[in-house]
Amino acid sequence: MNNPCFSIAAVERDTGLSKDVLRMWERRYGFPLPDRDSNGERSYPAEQVERLRLIKRLIDAGHRPGKLIAAPAEELAGLVSRRSQARPEITTAHGSELGELLALIKSHDSYGFLHAMQQRLARQGLHNFVQDTVAPLTHQVGLAWEDGSIEVFEEHLFTELSKRLLRQAIAGLPGGQRSPRILLTSVPDEPHALGLLMAEALFALEGAECIPLGTQMPLLEISRAASAHQANIVALSFSSAFAQRQIPGLLQQLRMVLPPAIALWAGGAGVQRLAQMEGIQLFTSLDNAVSALANWNQTRTPA
């Protein structure tokens, strides 16, 4: 059986490492070391792709790429194992229930997961469901992905099923006059939508009119959409997988092209350690964002 190989575009999608990074590592470190296909294009063996995925996980956890690339496979596996052992186990009664939900995903029981989540939504109500179930479970799934105890396809299953539930719940909220208008989206190369949906659910419960644009919107398009919809606020979400060093520059660029009257908010795990910036509000939790919305309603005349 031939060893499967992958194009550089496929490796970029699978690992989250850009083509430029892959080429730079090849020049600087001698890894990855792709073959060439019949057209002379780079072709990466499956074992190199698996190593790259492991390296990306450890980089996201704070390790330096140069040391990781030079490390033998046993050392990389040891780093992942130590991170997994250091991850706090879910021991509370509340946490045990979350662990059971995560187990349903890892056993690939889509029906069981949806049923359990629907029961929690009915019991908790949408606000508490977002805060006490979806948000902490998303965090646990992220940690499990980092240490390799959950597969990529399992993380995608959790995300898609959770998004389906939230969209259904949001669609069932009462209509009527709402304020402020909040446009929700993400910047290019940020495909994660679950954080946006959690924020949308909480904002809608507080009476806001939410305008969801999905993910990966160019900055100029965000500005045009905000003006076209007469938005009061643009809210962005950044996941922990997004390159944190890029976030301040992107936010400052967007702030420059947005009309001054439109507030710019950003939240998610990706902004946790960023310093505050002029003209931009950063939120390290959903509670912070909901409090900011309450403050907005108190200090401004609704549109």
The fold of 5-86 is: Multidrug-efflux Transporter Regulator; Chain: A; Domain 2 (1.10.1660)
End-to-end CA distance of the chain: 65
Which spans in 130-193 are helix H?
Answer: 135-146, 152-171
Q: Extract the tokens encoding 152.
A: 């990529």
Least confident interval from 27-31, 127-131, 142-146 = 142-146
Q: Alpha-carbon distance 269 to 144, whole Å?
A: 15
- Asked whether the CA dihedral 188, 190, 195, 201 is positive or negative, the reply is positive
Q: Which residues contact 8 (CB under 8 A, 6 or more apart)?
A: 19, 22, 23, 34, 41, 42, 44
- CA distance readout (Å), 276 to 252, 255, 266, 283: 11, 13, 11, 10
> For domain 93-171, is the CATH number 1.10.1240.10?
yes
Interhelix angle 110-129/194-205, nearest 10 degrees: 40
Using the predicted structure, report yes or no on whether residue 1 has a pLDDT greater than 50: no
What are the structural domain ranges in the chain? 5-86, 93-171, 181-299
pLDDT digits (tens, 9 = 90+) for 94-119: 557 888 999 999 999 999 999 999 99
Least confident interval from 63-67, 76-80, 162-166, 239-243 = 76-80
Using the predicted structure, report yes or no on whether residue 300 has a pLDDT greater than 90: no
User: What is the pLDDT, as a whole number, of residue 91?
Assistant: 42
pTM across the whole model: 0.75
Pick the CATH number of 181-299 from 3.40.50.300, 3.50.50.60, 3.40.718.10, 3.40.50.280: 3.40.50.280
Name the more confident of 197 and 303. Answer: 197
DSSP, collapsed to helix, strand or coil, labels residue 244 as helix
Cα 301 from chain centroid? 33
Tell me if domain 93-171 and domain 181-299 are identical in fold: no
Q: Which residues contact 53 (CB under 8 A, 6 or more apart)?
A: 14, 15
pLDDT digits (tens, 9 = 90+) for 148-164: 778 878 989 999 999 99
